């Protein structure tokens, strides 16, 4: 490709970085400014307050840096690959350079591929579709549904929830020792729980998998926004994560790692971009078409690529790397301590945990409150304090049921429960935060929890379409 588009891309990136720097709020306590940090929301009790977004585990707000980078690129938007025009060549350059940036962010090995997908869920379904015949899959029941459900067409062994990190390794080793030693096998494990925030012993699990001839895929959706993730250092075979957890807009994801299973599998989607050559078959040969598929990442990237989504992931990777994970982790640990210490002062609050209080974790904490329906509590946090958290089973039903000590058949939903305020239901409350969270947000959250438990809600609530909402007739 000519030097001109590459030069333009460099100028574009430099312009975006200047814009991002100039737009940063010097008064913002968070190390990485995010969109929405100045948004105000109305309170049912009157007045407005700056919104405290504490639902990062579902979707982190986009970094201002990411938004500025995308805005700087938008006028140059063009179709990716094969276009002869200047904007198409520039967009292709941007797209493929983003692949390099993501590979560097993940510490990929030279032979690894980076495939762009729609999300973590999409990435793991892609890998599931590429499993060799008769592959055995081992997955803990503690996984998010994105990494629990895609393997159902394979020979799956579901492992019970461990109660220590060491027990997780022992459980996997026992299961792998009993497997068919001659067939392919895959272990799927999370890096950080989307329910408890606890870090899993990925390196040790990878060692156990490889010792028994199995491969391992890491669901890094909750880990990558908070901690460095290196495929080579962790010695995992694949990593999957989502842009919308990593401070980028919706609609983009990554599957990175070994290429052999992906190259041997049929394309995840059939269409343009995945095919290298297509030819009509003569009638006498049965008709139809013959297809030669790419053996690069393009094999599983059929259709017009989401260049803006891909570029936004690359921008977020650069922003996190430049900010330095050591500093980000240290500050997040301070926020975690502040929340946990505050919740510990409220006897009615029970924090959910697999590995115990001393386990290392990211900024994801789930809890229940005695005497409260969790949906009611979350609704009061929003309506009376301007705090956004999550309630429900967090798309990790088996894990939350285990943590709550409930029967597997107890009713519950991924979203909101049907129970009305005050009624018992199977759900919990989750608060989550990260590099864009100001201290004031977690301080307001802790104060709100204490006030709600001590004094109760100041407003009446009702159930509407399965959600607990303020009763607009209660003035």
Long-range contacts of 237-242 (CB under 8 A, 24+ apart): 238/127, 239/106, 240/117, 240/120, 240/123, 240/124, 240/127, 240/147, 241/120, 241/123, 242/119, 242/120, 242/121
Dist CA 191 CA 204 (whole Å):
12
Rg over alpha carbons for the chain, rounded to the nearest Å, is 24
Catalytic site residue from 135, 395, 414, 468: 395
Map residue 290 onto helix, strand or coil.
Answer: strand
User: What does each C-alpha distance from 184 to 132, 139, 179, 390, 408 come to in angstroms?
Assistant: 7, 15, 10, 38, 31
- CA torsion, points 13, 19, 20, 24, in degrees to nearest 10? 170
Map residue 106 onto helix, strand or coil.
Answer: coil
Dist CA 449 CA 428 (whole Å):
14
E-strand ranges in 325-475 read 349-351, 364-369, 387-388, 390-392, 428-432, 461-464, 467-470
User: What does each C-alpha distance from 87 to 5, 81, 252, 430 come to in angstroms?
Assistant: 8, 11, 21, 44
- Left (φ > 0), alpha (ψ -120 to 50) or beta: where does 466 sit? left
414 is catalytic: no
For residues 129 and 186, the answer to whether their CB atoms sit within 8 Å is: no
Which are the catalytic amino acids? 395
């Amino acid at each position: 490709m000519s030097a001109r588009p590459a030069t333009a891309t460099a100028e574009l990136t430099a312009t975006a970085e200047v814009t991002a720097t100039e737009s940063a709020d010097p008064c913002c306590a968070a190390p990485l400014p995010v969109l929405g940090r100045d948004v105000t929301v109305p309170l049912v009790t009157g007045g407005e307050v700056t919104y405290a977004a504490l639902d990062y585990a579902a979707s982190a707000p986009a970094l201002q840096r990411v938004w500025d980078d995308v805005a700087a690129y938008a006028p140059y938007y063009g179709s990716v690959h094969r276009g002869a025009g200047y904007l198409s060549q520039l967009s292709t350059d941007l797209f493929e350079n983003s692949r390099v940036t993501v590979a560097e962010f993940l510490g990929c090995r030279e032979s690894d591929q980076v495939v762009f997908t729609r999300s973590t869920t999409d990435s793991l379904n892609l890998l599931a579709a590429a499993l060799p015949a008769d592959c055995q899959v081992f997955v803990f029941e503690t996984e998010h549904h994105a990494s629990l459900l895609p393997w159902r067409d394979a020979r799956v062994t579901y492992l019970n929830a461990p109660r220590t990190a060491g027990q997780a390794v022992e459980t996997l080793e026992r299961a792998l020792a009993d497997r068919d030693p001659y067939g392919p096998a895959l272990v799927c494990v999370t890096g950080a729980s989307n329910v408890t925030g606890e870090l899993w012993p990925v390196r040790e699990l990878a060692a156990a998998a490889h010792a028994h001839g199995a491969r391992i895929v890491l669901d890094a959706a909750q880990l990558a926004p908070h901690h460095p993730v290196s495929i080579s250092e962790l010695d995992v075979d694949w990593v999957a994560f989502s842009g919308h957890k990593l401070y980028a807009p919706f609609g983009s994801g990554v599957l990175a790692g070994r290429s052999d299973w992906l190259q041997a599998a049929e394309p995840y989607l059939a269409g343009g971009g995945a095919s290298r050559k297509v030819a009509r078959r003569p009638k006498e040969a049965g008709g139809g078409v013959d297809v030669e598929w790419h053996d690069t990442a393009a094999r599983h990237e059929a259709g017009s690529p989401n260049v803006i989504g891909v570029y936004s992931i690359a921008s977020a990777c650069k922003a996190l790397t430049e900010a330095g994970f050591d500093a980000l982790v240290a500050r997040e640990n301070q926020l975690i301590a502040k929340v946990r210490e505050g919740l510990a002062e409220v006897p009615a609050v029970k924090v959910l945990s697999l590995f115990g209080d001393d386990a290392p974790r990211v900024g994801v904490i789930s809890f229940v409150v005695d005497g409260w329906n969790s949906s009611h509590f979350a609704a009061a946090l929003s309506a009376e304090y301007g705090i956004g958290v999550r309630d429900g089973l967090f798309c990790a039903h088996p894990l939350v049921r285990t943590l709550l000590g409930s029967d597997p058949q107890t009713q519950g939903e991924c979203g909101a429960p049907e129970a009305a305020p005050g009624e018992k239901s199977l759900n919990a409350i989750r608060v989550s935060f990260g590099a864009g969270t100001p201290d004031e947000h977690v301080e307001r959250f802790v104060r709100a929890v204490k006030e709600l438990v001590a004094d109760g809600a100041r407003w009446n609530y009702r159930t509407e379409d399965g959600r607990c909402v303020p009763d607009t007739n209660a003035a």
